[in-house]
Amino acid sequence: MTKKSQIRKGKQKKSPKNKGRKADTKVYRCETCGDRVPVEDAMVHVAECDMTIPRSD
């Protein structure tokens, strides 16, 4: 029974590493420049990209 408790402790130690990645879940990838931008700033970033980079079509 002691071995099972040790295994559980090992699994719990892995979870904090994944908590830092939750910030990257909501990310928008810009088509014009290929940058990965947070969803909140996506519209502003796309507008700035359209101003700086002229589109061929």
- pTM assigned to the model: 0.42
The domain spans of the chain are 24-57
Contact 30, 41 (CB under 8 A): no
pLDDT in tens, 6-56: 566 655 555 566 555 555 568 888 887 888 888 888 889 888 888 887 665
Cα angle 51, 37, 25 (rounded to 5 degrees) comes to 155
**How far apart, in Å, are the Cα atoms of 2 and each of 7, 48, 55?**
9, 59, 64
The pLDDT score that the predictor gives to residue 25 is 63
